[in-house]
Structure formats: structure tokens, C-alpha cells
Structure 1
Amino acid sequence: MTVSRWIRAAAFAALAFALVVIGAALRPLVLPEAHPAAPVLNAVEIGFAQDMTAHHQQALIMVQRLDRGVEPAVLRLAQQLSDAQRIEIGTMLGWLRLADASPLSPHPMAWMHAQAAASHHHSTAIADQPTGDAMPGMASTAELDVLAAARGHDAEILFLQLMFRHHQGGLAMARAADQLLISGPVKEAARSMFQSQSQEVGVMSVLLTQLGGRPLQ
């Protein structure tokens, strides 16, 4: 091989090597490396949305079973509760659809104690909160049947008693979610629910007193 051919071959080799190096450097820009997408909701957010949806749905059942002939103040409160919780159910179901999660939890309330075990610094904050399958504040089937059969004053008292206890359970769930979550729309929704349901509990307490009733023990 002549010197000139050797030089040309060396130049071609150097050029090819430079193109390989440049191609490798530009590859991430032209073909970005695939990274797994961040989950839309974490386990606590999914669990809270599933369980609070079920909790809200029972509140709607209570409103449906309330005698329409009760005091107007009680009927207005029931309608306000129904309207607010329907909107919140729609929001939570929308989040669950985006996260490709079931609207029903296979393990109700597991998100509360599972997260507490994983995050020791939160365990004290939620130590007084219910865990496991027991969803706080829920009425039994028998209680819902009695409400459906109650009329007039009896219906007013029982509805307020059941809904007062129901809201107390919802407050415990919303408070736990607010404490466990760092930020995001689910945390904000939980905080908003806590504030609105606290106000509604106050109204129910006043109505119960006026009607001669008291909260269930």
C-alpha cells in the first residue's frame, strides 16, 4: 500500500470513529431513553379514594332512605350532603380511572396502617386511627333498614344520629390521609373534606339538640 493510500485509509478510519462517537453522544437527544412513567396515584391516594368513595356512597343511601316528611331543616341538610358528596365521588372515581385502579378496594382501610408501618414518624400521628377492614362510622344493614322504615320525628333523630357518626368516621379518614400525604390534589381534597364535614358535624349536633336527640355512643 502506498503512503497516500495509507493516509486516506487512516483518515477514513478516524472519520468513522468520530461519527460513532458523535452518534453515541447524540443518541439520547434523538432517541431518549425510555423511563418508566411515574404512577398517577400512590398506594395511599388510591386506598383513600377507594374507601372514601364507598363511605360517601353509604351517605347517599342514608339520604335516599330518609322520610321526605321530616322537618325542612333536616331535609335541606340531607340534600346539601347528597349534592356535595356526589361531586366528591365523581372526582375520586375520575382519579381512580386515570390511575387504572378499581373503584373498590380489595382490602378496605389497609392504606392507613400499611403506610404507618412504612413511615415510623407517621405512626404516632395516626395511632388513634382505625385500621384493617373496619371502615369508621359506617351504619349496619339493620340500621339502614330501620331508617328506611322510620317516619317523622323518629326519622329525623335516627338520620342525624347515623349521619353524625358517619361523618365522624369520614373525619378520621380525611385526617389520616392529610397526615400521610405530602402534597397533591388528593391531600388537598382530604383537607377540604375535613373542613366541610367538620362544619356539617356542627350543624347536625345543633339540630340533634334542638330536636331532643343526642349522638350515638
Structure 2
Amino acid sequence: MNSSETTDQPSKPSQRTALLIIGLIGAIAVGFALGALTNLLGPDAKSSLTVPASDSVDVGFAQDMSVHHSQAVDMASIALTKSTDNDVRTLAFDILTTQQNQLGQMQAWLTMWDQPLSKVGPYMEWMSSDSGSGHGSHGTSATMDMAHSGPVDTMPGMASPEDLAALRAAEGLQLDTLFLQLMLRHHEGGLPMMEYAAADATEGPVRSLAQTMVNTQQSESKLMTDMLAARGAAPLPMN
């Protein structure tokens, strides 16, 4: 056995262990949110809740943003376990933990509302002109008009299967750059949905969470833009 084989072998179980831990963290976060909410409200909670309609902004946002967040968690997991850049790893950890927590909150609401945790497209139907409370006067994103074009088969900013395969195969600077590009586009693509829900959701906690997402992801987008520039790379165009 040569020295390179001796050096490479320990990384495989280490990476599998890291992925397992991340998977457990995700499962625990979602389970904790669901269980804690149920215990807090008690067995008769549903009778006292305001339950939004199945075609409401609240339900549509929770379902579609759960899908959007799930992909961000997946991409952050890849960067966290493969990158050797501390700044990239820190960002990936922050995105993974923040969005997994938010995912747990949204799935808890959907459970309490007796709604499916996710759906197969079309997506963004809840952003049509007859949903919400007058979105036309709200929203500050320059991409809001794009989001009002009607139901879509793929949400803006979502990475393709080919993108994800390339991210998993990448190493070193290529990995870091591609992660930052894909995640920046992902954040920017989801922003109109968050702004819309922050303005037009009927439930206060949904509006509050959506606004928190707006604030966090705008800050992270600025950070990722600066990190790309420092690495001599440019953002990807919106897909």
C-alpha cells in the first residue's frame, strides 16, 4: 500500500459520518418542530386554530418554500462536507441549520392545517392575482413581476439535476465557486415568494417567518456576491 492510499482511506468513513450526522440533525429538527408544536397546543388545538384554505397564500407558500428550502439544505450539506474553505463551510452550516429550522416550522403548520407537506407542481399558483390581499401594492424585489407570471413547473433559482451532479463531483475552488453561484441564484429565485408571503399571507406567524427569510437571504446574497468576487467569479444568470 502506498502513502496516497493510506492518506485517502480515512476520509471515506469520515465523510459518511458527517453526512449521517447532518441527516440526523435534519430529521431531529423537523421532528422537534412537529412534536413541540403538538405538545404546546394540546390535543384540542386544531379546534382553536385559524386554518387557512388549501389554496391560500399561507398553504401554498409553506408547501412550495419547503421544496425550495429542501434543495438549499441538500446543497449546503454537500459544501459543508466537501469544502476545505472555512468561510464556505461556515456559510453552508448557517444556511443548513437556518433553513432546516424554517422547514420544520412550515411542515408543522401544514400538519396542523391537515395539508400535504409538499405537492407535485405546478408551483406558485398561490401567487395568482386572486390570491392574497392585494399583492400588487406590496413587494420590493425587482423580480416580483417575474413571480406573478402564473404557475410554473420549476421554481426560479432551483438547481437542475445536472447542476447538483456537478456540485457533488466538484472539488476545491471549483466546488466552492459552484456552490456560491448555485446558492446565490437559489436565494434570489426564492426572494419573490418570500416577499409575496410577507405581504399577503393571512396568518401572522407566516408573514413573520417570510419576512425573516427575506432579511436573512438578502444579507446572505450580499455575502455570497462578495465571496464570488473575491474568488474571481461572477453570479449565474437567473434560470
What are the within-5 Å matches in structure 2 for residues 3-18 of structure 1?
none
Q: Which runs of 5+ in 2 are unaligned?
A: 1-46, 139-143
Q: Give the drift of 1:37.
A: 7.5
Residues of 2 paired with 1:141 and 1:65: CA distance? 14
Answer whether contact 1:136 1:172 (CA < 8 A) is retained.
Answer: no
Indicate which of 124, 130, 137 corresponds to 1:117: 130
Deviations 1:145-174 (A, max 9, x none): 000000000001000000000000121110
The 2-side partners of 1:158 and 1:118 are apart by 36
The reply to whether residue 152 of structure 1 matches residue 172 of structure 2 is yes
Distance 1:201 1:119, change over 3 A: closer
Counterpart in the other structure of 1:32:
none
What percent identity do the matched residue pairs reach? 35
Aligned to 2:218: 198
Match of 2:21 in 1: none
Q: Does 1:132 align with 2:151?
A: yes
- State the partner residue of 1:184: 204
CA–CA separation in structure 1 for the residues paired with 2:126 and 2:167: 31
Checking the alignment, whether the CA contact within 8 Å between 2:181 and 2:236 is kept in structure 1 is: yes
Which structure would you say has the larger Rg? 1
Of 224, 228, 231, which aligns to 1:211? 231
Among 82, 86, 97, the alignment partner of 2:100 is 86
**Contact 1:137-1:167 within 8 A present in 2 as well:** yes
TM-score (norm 1): 0.76
Q: Deviations over 1:104-155 (max 9, x none)?
A: 1344211111xx2356843465534253123111000000000000000000
* 8 A contact 2:157–2:188 mirrored in 1: yes
Change (3 A) 1:100 1:160: same
Q: Please name the residue that 2:68 is paired with.
A: 55
Q: What SS is found at the alignment partner of 2:193?
A: helix
What one-letter code is carried by the residue in structure 2 that aligns with 1:79? F
Question: How far did 1:76 drift?
Answer: 0.8
The secondary structure found in structure 1 opposite 2:145 is coil
How many corresponding residue pairs? 180
Q: C-alpha offsets along residues 62-84 of structure 1, whole Å, 9 cap, x if unaligned?
A: 12223623311001100110000
What one-letter code is carried by the residue in structure 2 that aligns with 1:63?
A: A
Tell me the distance in 2 between the aligned counterparts of 1:128 and 1:59.
21
Q: Give 1:45 deviation, angstroms.
A: 0.2
The CA deviation at 1:180 is 1.8
* Distance 1:38-1:132 versus aligned 2 partners, 3 A rule: same
RMSD of aligned alpha carbons:
2.1
SS across alignment from 2:52 = coil
1:163 aligns to what SS in structure 2?
helix
**Paired residue type of 1:47:** G
Q: Compute the TM-score of the two structures, normalised by the length of structure 2.
A: 0.69
The letter for the 2-side match of 1:136 is P
What runs of 5+ residues in structure 1 fail to find an aligned partner? 1-35
* Structure-2 separation of matches of 1:179 and 1:92: 17
Partner of 1:127, secondary structure, is helix
